[in-house]
Amino acid sequence: MSADLSFSRLVPTSDGGSRFEKVAIPVTLQNFAPPAQPFSVSPLSEAAQSGFLCLPAGWVGEMHRSPIRMWIFVLEGEMRFEASNGEARDIAPGSALLLEDPSGTGHSSRVLGHRPVTLAVVRLPQPNAA
């Protein structure tokens, strides 16, 4: 298997708003952990920090910017993210979302259902950081 992985990312727009884009991450068959059999691996990206976010049931984040450039991975619970253009994405366990909207209007987000949400977060360096 060496098809690209496909995820959504939230990015700022030139008018100060935000929108979703698709991001494709290539994977290739590699001997990543010999002597284990080869499997598909993406290029490894730099990460600055990692941690977890725990949001209670009913939590609502009105329109806000992402505080950092980050990947979020849903471990439990469900959330909805809405770009300023009105487009929304629901994410559930096994989903990932790349948040790249630390400028502009940002997005809104909320916990769906009656369960809290646990997210794993990987902070990414700024694109111009060396």
- Read off the pLDDT of residues 28-87 as tens digits, 9 standing for 90 and up: 999 999 999 999 999 999 998 999 999 999 999 999 999 999 999 999 999 999 999 999
User: In this structure, what are the phi and psi dihedrals at residue 121, rounded to the nearest 5 degrees?
Assistant: -120, 135
Q: Is 35 left (phi over 0), alpha (psi -120 to 50) or beta?
A: alpha
Q: What is the mean pLDDT of residues 106-113?
A: 97
Multiple choice CATH, 5-123, 3.90.700.10, 1.20.1260.10, 2.60.120.10, 3.40.1780.10: 2.60.120.10
Domain boundaries, the chain: 5-123
Quote the pTM value.
0.89
Q: What confidence score (pLDDT) does residue 2 get?
A: 60
Q: Of 123, 95, 101, nearest to 10 (Cα)?
A: 101
* Percentage above 90 pLDDT, the chain: 91
- Which strands sit side by side in the sheet containing 49-55, from one edge to the other? 18-25, 5-12, 96-99, 70-76, 117-123, 49-55
- Read off the pLDDT of residues 24-42 as tens digits, 9 standing for 90 and up: 999 999 999 999 999 999 9
